Amino acid sequence: MEMIKRKIKLHFSPKIISRWNPNPQFYFSSLFFSTRSQTQSSSSSESSKLYDRIQIVRDPKESIIPVLNQWVSEGHTVGKALLQSLVHLMKGYKRFNHALEMSHWMTDCRYFSLSPSDVAVRLELIYRVYGSAHAEMYFEKISDKLKSGNVYGALLSGYVRENSVQKAEAVLQEMREKGIATSSFPYNIMINLYAQNGAFEKIDILKEEMERNGIPQDKYTMRNLMAAYVAASDISGMERILNQLETHPQLGHGWQAYSVAASGYLKVGLIEKALKMLRKMEETMPIGKKTSAFNYLLTLYAKTGRKDELYRVWNSYKPLAEVKETQFCCMISSLEKVDDIEGAERIFEEWESQCMMYDFRVLNKLLLAYCRKGLYTKAEAAFKKAAEGRTPYASTWITMAMSYIGQNQMSKAVEMLKKAISVSRKGWKPNPITLTTCLDYLEEQGDVEGIEEIVKSLKSTESLTRDIYHRLVRTYTAAGIPVTKVIDKMKMDNIAADEETHKILES
């Protein structure tokens, strides 16, 4: 691979594919239906009821511990295998806070001991919920007996997600020294990390190390290498890997590899070659409940600009696949990319006519399409119709704020921002451009009350920054109001005054 010093953002990076199936039915059937005994069938029924109770708690800020305690108080038994499966289930649905609560409850209330794999899962969840500092503290407390390759891998994965190259390299080096860097997993994710940072020469070093130490390059290695070549716009390198995959079927070449190849060809404008890869992707992709391939296919066909192919894929595969909201979202976005707004409207109407539960994420895609095309009146009409008798998501209010910004109706945009914050959940953050634009407007208007209201609301979403407080300081100063109260609030929120803060105060 050629040495490329300039930083190139990874154009297409396939995720390391989990072997866990996020379908609760899969877990419960595998746990309880391996035989046909009446006892196991009854156990499965009870476990499904427990899952149903947990599923009802949708707000990540709301604890599920009372649900678990109530279940036990009713005389039900909860085994370790069930808890492990539920932890994985919550993690698969990105309900990380609930998964972590359940992991702690498993040891604190049920007194089950943790296996190395349980520790690895908990470490990942701590990282996702509380960040790297808490994960590092937990990692230091783990006994050497439990610090398996999986545990190191969980820490390494966190560093890769946050793009901490030096920390990730330090973890991999420690794994080498302990003799536990023996699988392809740490190398696979490091390949992605280096590709994202344009450090392609380090990928070559990793490949040589794997060959020297007899670590087999599996299908994930090959796909990640392909994605790295795509990031470097090295099409010949990408083609070499694809030829290896096709020559050695045991490496598991399939739709993922062809989707990466199609993405690579599209990046350099080779449309016909991309279409050839997409047809091969269609021949190898699974049909049925696993619809991620369907989404990739729609997205990639949209990038070719072939509207006819988009409709062919939609009409051909929709009857065969379990099409859900995500596929309707993908199709609406894809049609917008080929400038077919009327088609996007028809797809939305098709979903709306058959949906059992209104999902504002689908509406969001149509609203975004309208806004990007400057069709603000249509966006407002669609929003008002959907909001009748329903509570829109925070993301929907933010999308409408963007619409009003596009029309230069800033007072309405600010109201939409306030609505978004008021219905948001823990961890949600407003679109930074929308937030900045609204705050700019309030600062220009000298609207102390307006900025104060937003600051107070953002506190609950953990989105407050020093810049937002600086705006409040400037607005107070312009209005002749003492800024002591603002500085005190900054201290309470653990936001220290810096050099810029003092410059504002002295101006």
Is 449 domain-assigned?
Answer: yes
> Under a CB-based contact definition with an 8 Å cutoff, are residues 434 and 402 in contact?
yes
Asked if pLDDT for residue 345 goes beyond 90, the answer is yes
Element (H, E) at 307: helix 307-317
Asked if pLDDT for residue 152 goes beyond 80, the answer is yes
| Closest to 109 measured CA to CA, from 134, 137, 142, 78 | 78
> Under a CB-based contact definition with an 8 Å cutoff, are residues 252 and 223 in contact?
no
CA–CA separation, 369 and 237 (whole Å): 36
In tens, the pLDDT along 472-481 reads 888 888 888 8
Cβ–Cβ contacts within 10 Å for residue 320, how many? Answer: 10
Confidence band, pLDDT 50/70/90 cuts, at residue 250:
confident
CA–CA separation, 15 and 148 (whole Å): 23
In tens, the pLDDT along 43-76 reads 456 667 888 888 888 777 789 999 989 888 888 8
Q: What is the Cα Rg of the chain in Å?
A: 26
User: Which domain, by its residues, includes 479?
Assistant: 423-506
Cβ–Cβ contacts within 10 Å for residue 154, how many? Answer: 23
Is 14 domain-assigned?
Answer: no
Asked if pLDDT for residue 377 goes beyond 90, the answer is yes
- Average pLDDT value for residue range 383-390: 95
Is 355 domain-assigned?
Answer: no
> Under a CB-based contact definition with an 8 Å cutoff, are residues 135 and 158 in contact?
yes
Is 471 domain-assigned?
Answer: yes
The amino acid occupying position 432 is P
Q: Give the percent of the chain with pLDDT over 90.
A: 58
Asked if pLDDT for residue 1 goes beyond 60, the answer is no
Is 4 domain-assigned?
Answer: no
Is 395 domain-assigned?
Answer: no
Asked if pLDDT for residue 340 goes beyond 70, the answer is yes
Does 17 or 335 have the greater pLDDT score?
335
Cβ–Cβ contacts within 10 Å for residue 498, how many? Answer: 10
Asked if pLDDT for residue 32 goes beyond 70, the answer is no
Work out the angle at residue 12's Cα, subtended by the Cα atoms of residues 11 and 13, and round it to the nearest 5 degrees: 125
Residue 17 zone, left/alpha/beta (φ > 0; ψ -120 to 50; rest): beta
Global pTM value: 0.75
CA–CA separation, 210 and 185 (whole Å): 11
In tens, the pLDDT along 290-338 reads 678 899 999 999 999 999 999 999 999 888 877 889 999 999 999 999 9
pLDDT of residue 459: 76
Is 459 domain-assigned?
Answer: yes
Confidence band, pLDDT 50/70/90 cuts, at residue 276:
very high
pLDDT of residue 75: 86
CA–CA separation, 297 and 282 (whole Å): 8
Domain count, the chain: 1
Work out the angle at residue 304's Cα, subtended by the Cα atoms of residues 300 and 306, and round it to the nearest 5 degrees: 110
Q: Give the percent of the chain with pLDDT over 70.
A: 89
pLDDT of residue 16: 33
Q: Is 63 helix (H, G, I), strand (E, B) or coil?
A: coil
Asked if pLDDT for residue 503 goes beyond 90, the answer is no
Is 476 domain-assigned?
Answer: yes
Asked if pLDDT for residue 15 goes beyond 50, the answer is no
CB under 8 Å to 137, separation ≥6 — which residues? none
Residue 179 zone, left/alpha/beta (φ > 0; ψ -120 to 50; rest): left
- Average pLDDT value for residue range 117-142: 94
pLDDT of residue 290: 64
